[in-house]
Each structure stands twice: as structure tokens, then as C-alpha cells.
Amino acid sequence: MLTYGQDVWNYAFFMTRQAYLADDISQDVFFKAYSSIQTFRGEASIKTWLIAITRNIAINYRRSAFMRKVILVERIFYKDSHPSAENEALGCGQSHPIWDVVLKLPLKYREVLILDAKYELTMKEMSSVLGISEGAVKSRLSRARQKVAAIWKEEPEYEQA
């Protein structure tokens, strides 16, 4: 947990975009890893194995009926509310603008960019984690980069002087 805890939490956050879900998922990941360490075959690194577990648990959270209801209720009741000025200022100071753009992408593109840029996984490792071919990883990565570039160019605050 000390070595990979922050990586697991960050990946869970990128998958769900919710800090409280990232907390729950991180706990579940390490519980599952601890309880099933005997199934680790050593075909990938521990980091890659933990990222794969994180991905699977995050997807299960997103699919669960409970989560769909919670998210739906959240959209209905909190749609028009705004964070306080303090929270907004803190949030802006803690994030690089490129990650805001990445978080706007659909999950399949967001995943490959995060695994590539943040976790520096190889194409083979990404293929293993995502359960798709290396060619599909390369294709998604290329499309994701194109989408980020397009969004970056459209946003007026990102234009260079």
C-alpha cells in the first residue's frame, strides 16, 4: 500500500471522477490483492496487476445499480449548485489544466492516456490491463491524443499569446 497506494487511488479517481469512490475502490483493491496474492502469477509487475484490479473494481462500481441511482440523484439534486469560492480556488491550484482536458474525454480514451502518460505502462501492459489488443491500444491512444489536441485548441483559456 505504501508503494502503490497513491497510484491506485489516482487511477480510481480518473476512472470515476469521484474522490469518495476512489477511496472506496482503493480499499477494495488492496483487500482483494491481499486476499488473492496467491493467484498473482508474476506475468506482469505488481503495479500492472494492481492497476488491472483497480480498473475491474471501478468498472463494477460504475455498473452497479446502486451507483447508477446515486449518480442519477446527484445529477438531479445538485445540478444547479456551485462549489464555494474556496473549494474552487483549491481545486484550481491542485490540478494541471491538461488533466482537466483529459477528464473530459470518454472513458476508453481517458484510460489509455492515463496509463501511458501517468503510469508509463508499455503497450503490452496496457493491452493486458484493458483486455484489448496492442493495435487497439495504439489506435485508442492516437485518437485520444487527437481529441485532447482538438479540445486544447478550442478552449480560449488554453490559447497561447
Domain ranges of the chain: 1-81, 84-154
Q: Does domain 1-81 have CATH number 1.10.1740.10?
A: yes
Please give the model's pTM, rounded to 2 decimal places: 0.68
**CA–CA gap between residue 101 and residue 106 (Å, rounded):** 11
**5-39 residue pLDDT tens:** 999 999 999 888 888 899 999 999 999 999 998 88
Q: What CATH fold (topology level) applies to the domain 84-154?
A: Arc Repressor Mutant, subunit A (1.10.10)
**86-132 residue pLDDT tens:** 444 434 444 577 777 888 889 899 999 999 988 889 999 999 999 99
* Half-sphere exposure for 132 (CA within 13 Å, toward CB): 14
